[in-house]
Structure 1
Amino acid sequence: MQLVVKPVPDTASNQCLTESCAWHGFDTNPPFEDIVELHYTGYHEKKKFASSREDLGEPLRTEIGTGKVIKGWDEGIVSMFEGEIARLVIRDDFAYGAYGYPPMIPGGATLTYEIELLRIEKPTSNHKLKPSH
């Protein structure tokens, strides 16, 4: 599969985030505060540091646009479509900043995430999701 560069929404932060798309998916984007279900694999300098399939054994469920994930995910995932597989390259200031996330991620690290957006759900009044990263 070949990755195709897809523009990120025009925001002041678009210099901090780039997205490449391997599979477009369907024409449904997750608005802020929707719940998404996704698989991800995170890389720093081509070395894998996290994987939902290996670490969690299941897809991650989280809210988008509410600060429960890194800012690069909040901004990048809302530009994805349900069913899309994308690669997000996220500068440190939209990831874990100058301090990093020891011991896996050093300070100042640019990260690459391969994300498969499996499902988008509207939040209900009784949903409770744990903070994630």
Structure 2
Amino acid sequence: MKFYLLFLCINIYFLVLVANEESQKKSKDKLERLHVGVTKRVEDCQKRAEAGDQVAVHYTGKLLENLEVFDSSEGRRPLEFKVSSGQMIKGFDNGVIGMCVGEKRKLKIPSAQGYGSRGSPPKIPPDSDLIFEVEMMKIDPSHSEL
């Protein structure tokens, strides 16, 4: 009986140890900040997107964890929005600032700058880091009112 109890305790100890290592590994894999990578540069950039500009982009959004596509503008019209107006998740807004028409970027967005602990069910689970491949199609500069 003592041997059985000792065997059970050792197994429980190792299960807890493995679970803790998995938890630490997952937390290490989580993004802490926005990563912006330029995948196609534009030689002669006339205008860079900035806060307040109306822009149009093509995009593909994926979950970082498994690279599953959750949304894309492929086969549709480009997505239009006003930069830094709150229409888009924070990481997407920040990731397109400074882009030129024709430029392509890959954005790795941490959950905190994406959909956070709420996610966007059913396609985006809570606390999901995201990847967006973005191509700038159009920039209409903001016009400040006098």
Q: Deviations over 1:93-118 (max 9, x none)?
A: 00000110000100100000000001
Between the two proteins, the alignment pairs up a number of residues equal to 109
Distance 1:47 1:88 in 2: 15
Between stretches 90-99 and 28-37, larger displacement belongs to 28-37
TM-score using structure 2 length: 0.70
Alignment partner of 1:18 is 2:35: yes
Distance 2:110 2:81 in 1: 21
Written as runs of structure 1 = structure 2, the 5 A alignment for 1:82-101 is: 82-101=101-120
Alignment partner of 1:34 is 2:53: yes
- Whose helix fraction is larger, Structure 1's or Structure 2's? 2
Taking only aligned residues, the RMSD between alpha carbons, in angstroms, comes to 1.6
Gaps of 5+ in 1: 1-14, 126-133
Identity %: 32
Max Rg structure: 2
Q: Tell me the residue number matched to 1:64.
A: 83
Q: Tell me the residue number matched to 2:132.
A: 113
Gaps of 5+ in 2: 1-31
- Aligned to 1:53, the other structure's residue is in SS state coil
- Whose strand fraction is larger, Structure 1's or Structure 2's? 1
Distance 1:62 1:124 in 2: 15
Offset of 1:81 from its aligned partner? 2.1
